[in-house]
Amino acid sequence: MTLLDGTARTIRDEIAAGRVSATDVCRVFLDRIGAVNPALNAFNLVDADRALGRAHDIDRRRRSGDPLGPLAGVPIAVKDNMNVRGLRTTASSRILERFVPPYDATIVTRLEEAGAVIVGKTNCDEFAMGSSSESSAFGPVRNPWALDRIPGGSSGGSAAAVAARCVPVALGSDTGGSIRQPAAFCGVVGLKPTYGRVSRYGLLAFASSLDQIGPFARNVADAALVLSALAGADPRDATTADERVPDFTASLTGDVKGVRIGVPRAFVTEGVDDDVRHAFDRALDALRDAGATLVDVDLPHAKYAIPVYYLIATAEASSNLARYDGVKYGYRSPAAKDEGLKAMYSRTRDEGFGPEVKRRIMLGTYVLSAGYYDAFYLKAQQVRTLLRRDYDQAFKRVDVVAMPTSPTPPFTLGEKTGDPLQMYLADVFTVSANLAGLPGISLPCGFSQDGLPIGFQLMGRMFDEAMLLRVGDAYERVTEWSTKAPSSI
* Active site amino acids: 79, 154, 178
Classify 286 as helix, strand or coil: helix
Q: Is 432 within 8 Å of 460 (Cβ atoms)?
A: no
Q: For residues 401 and 294, what is the distance between their CA atoms, to the nearest angstrom?
A: 10
Q: What is the CA radius of gyration of the chain?
A: 21
Helices (H) and strands (E) in the chain, counts: 15, 11
The C-alpha atoms of residue 97 and residue 170 are separated, in whole angstroms, by 22
Inter-residue contact 185 to 409 (CB < 8 Å): yes
C-alpha to C-alpha distance for 373 and 290, rounded to whole angstroms = 49
Please name the residues in contact with 48: beta carbons below 8 A apart, sequence gap of 6 or more: 30, 119
DSSP 197-256: TB--TTB--S-TTT-EEEEEESSHHHHHHHHHHHBS-BTTBTTS-------GGGG--S--
> 92: Cβ–Cβ under 8 A, 6 or more apart, which residues?
44, 80, 81, 123, 124, 125, 126, 127, 135, 136, 137, 138
What amino acid occupies position 307? P
Assign 3-state DSSP to the chain and report helix, strand, coil percentages, each to 5: 40, 15, 45
Q: Considering Cα of 182, then 187, then 188, then 191, what sign does the dihedral take?
A: positive
Contact 297, 395 (CB under 8 A): no
Provide the CB-side half-sphere exposure for 380 (13 A, CA). 21
Residue 388 has a CB neighbour count (10 Å cut-off) of 17
Residue 209: cis peptide before it, omega within 30 degrees of 0? no
CB 399 within 8 A of CB 295: no
Decide the pairing of beta strands 293-296 and 453-460: unpaired
The DSSP string of 412-449 is BTTSSTT-HHHHHHTTTTTHHHHHHT--EEEEEEEE-T
CA-based end-to-end distance of the chain: 19
Q: What is the 3-state secondary structure of 128-159?
A: HCCCCCCCCCCCCCCECCECCECCCCCCHHHH
